[in-house]
Amino acid sequence: MVLKVEVKGAASLGKQVLVTANQVKEARRYGIKANLFILNSIKVVKSKAAGEGINRIECWNPSDDSLVPTMFKHSIS
């Protein structure tokens, strides 16, 4: 089994993060064990960033109900 790790950062508590369609596809792929790490409450002071906590989701397999479309690719004909 392949272990895949996705790491995200958030200035908020990290209850919502942006993920790409490819990241979701990879997490759902058979034979993949995906873990999602979210560094939350990130603050930047004097060009240095630090977070206050880490949310870890083991065996991350995002359901359709947890995904909200936020962007579309529009082709101009």
Distance (Å, rounded) from C-alpha 32 to C-alpha 24?
A: 11
| Confidence tier at 23 by pLDDT (50, 70, 90) | very high
Question: Per-residue pLDDT averaged across 28-47, rounded?
Answer: 94
Q: Model pTM greater than 0.75?
A: yes
Question: Per-residue pLDDT averaged across 50-70, rounded?
Answer: 94
Count of Cβ atoms closer than 10 Å to residue 41 Cβ: 14
